[in-house]
Amino acid sequence: MNSKLNGLLQIFLWLVCAFHVIVGLGLNLSSGFPQIMAGYYGATVNWTPELLYILKPVGAFMIAIGIMAAAAARDPVGHRSIVYGLVALFVIRGLQRIAFAEEIAGAVAIDSTRNIINAVIFLLLGGVLFLLYGAASKGASTNP
């Protein structure tokens, strides 16, 4: 195993952890945080009580993803399933941006260029994680 690549992989996973835990907690604990995140994604949202409620379970999932990313960050090669799950999550989110572009534009008014940029970011995150994991785990024996 390449220790420099493993270190980069760990940093990447800790960043994934931090982002997901912070966003998950923010969605659950702050009434203003969803608006901040909407701005981050370039969305214009009609903030109904129903939508604000739905974001709380989404936040719980984000926290859980962050916890799994933390487990993987501590021992990436030993947590191949989690790493590949995160890769799948990023790729699916990127593909959703492309497949549902019209719905996204209609529902939350994200400009098509901004939506494609967001899709590319998700796809790059998945691709970088996939390649970094493959390079860092070369020669290491892992359990599925």
Identify the domain containing residue 132 by its residue range.
3-137
Q: Is residue 62 part of a domain?
A: yes
* Alpha-carbon distances, residue 57 vs 54, 90, 103, 110, 120 (angstroms): 6, 19, 22, 23, 26
Q: Is residue 144 part of a domain?
A: no
- Tell me the mean pLDDT in the region 88-110: 96
Number of domains in the chain: 1
- Give the separation between CA 92 and CA 125, rounded to whole angstroms: 11
Q: Is residue 118 part of a domain?
A: yes
> What integer pLDDT is reported at residue 143 of this predicted model?
47
Give 14-51 pLDDT, tens digit per residue. Answer: 999 999 999 999 999 998 999 999 998 899 999 999 99
- pLDDT-based confidence at 116, cuts 50/70/90? very high
Q: Is residue 131 part of a domain?
A: yes
Q: Is the pTM of this model over 0.85?
A: yes
* Alpha-carbon distances, residue 120 vs 15, 68, 87, 111, 126 (angstroms): 18, 24, 14, 14, 10
